[in-house]
Amino acid sequence: MSTAYLKPASLEDAYTARAEHPDYVLLAGGTDYMVGILHRPAPVGVIDLFGLSALTGIEAGEGVLRIGAAATYAVVLTDATVSESFPSLRTCVSEIGATQIQARGTLGGNIGTSSPVGDTLPVLLALDAILELGSSRGTRKVAYAEFCTGYRQTLLKEDEVIVAIELPLPSPGVQFWRKVGTRKAQAISKVMVAASARGSGETLTDVRLAMGAVADRPIRLGAVEALLEGQVPSLELAEQVRAAVADAITPISDLRSTAPYRLRSAQNLAARFVLQRVEAQA
């Protein structure tokens, strides 16, 4: 049986298609979905959202930057507000794949696929991202921190589409992103750490510390955030962070890395977030 293909011309058409065909695959840029396509059974159908104009814009509004779910990474990289206010997101996106992938991959696709190694996902956690989910029943907003509920499991209902990602403005003044892979470009991450903090002066407040590739889903490390909250970065604090990270995560060994390497890298990157502030204040 051949695969059916629906290309909605509007968001309403997309909602209708989704409601009528919950068994179809929602397709954006295809950069993850198409990998290994020859070795899987063909889907019943696809609903192609790539390039749907209602989903591709980026707008800075009142207290929020709204990024359309089907905005490509290439578009995210050229947005002025992303560059000015969300340098951690910009750096993260610039390190995803290479130019060929950035031309097709989308933020909504990364979120929908919900791989534990999705690069943008820890950044969305660190930036308190809110997702707008839409369906024929209406739209609702869900904090990204609540959205991913398990290994490739999300709160997206079977008639829903990811519409937009909202990042609160003003953005955190301190932002951090580092990923470790086998190569600077075009590498699937072994570990990634995203962090942010607000507050004036040297004290860290509203600390967010998130990691990817260390659990079955992207996670925030609440205990480490609590340790950092209200503190002034110091060498001692960085050491405490290393210990707290070891207590907080239990990474696994797989084809991309080993558990001890992942843990050491995660500890070092989290400590780096603190040490970078120490250096900035020196």
Partner 1 sequence: MKIELQVNGETRVVEASPIARLLDVLREEIHLTGTKEGCGEGECGACTILIDGEPVNSCLVPVAQVQGCELTTIEGLAASCGYAEAGATPLQTAIVEWGGTQCGICTPGIAVCAQALLRDEPAPSRARIREALAGNLCRCTGYQLIVDAVAAAAEGGQS
CA distances from 149 to 95, 132, 156, 166 (A): 26, 17, 10, 19
Residue 101 touches partner 1, criterion: CB under 8 A: yes
End-to-end CA distance of the chain: 66
Q: Which is nearer to partner 1, 36 or 138 (CB)?
A: 36
Residue 171 CB-half CA count within 13 A: 25
By CB under 8 A, name the one of 19, 64, 74, 278 that touches partner 1. 74
Cα(46)–Cα(55) distance, rounded to whole angstroms?
Answer: 17
By CB under 8 A, name the one of 8, 15, 17, 48 that touches partner 1. 48
Residue 44 touches partner 1, criterion: CB under 8 A: no
With 0-12 / 13-18 / 19 or more C-beta atoms within 10 angstroms meaning exposed / middle / buried, residue 150 is exposed
Residue 135 touches partner 1, criterion: CB under 8 A: no
By CB under 8 A, name the one of 10, 20, 34, 235 that touches partner 1. 34
Q: Which stretch binds partner 1 (CB under 8 A): 9-17, 39-47, 60-68, 220-228?
A: 39-47
Residue 2 touches partner 1, criterion: CB under 8 A: yes
Total residues interacting with partner 1, rule: CB under 8 A: 31
Phi-psi region of 109 (alpha: psi -120 to 50; beta: other; left: phi over 0): alpha
Q: What are the residues binding partner 1 (CB under 8 A)?
A: 2-5, 7, 27, 29-31, 34-38, 42-43, 46, 48, 50-51, 74, 97-101, 103-104, 184-186
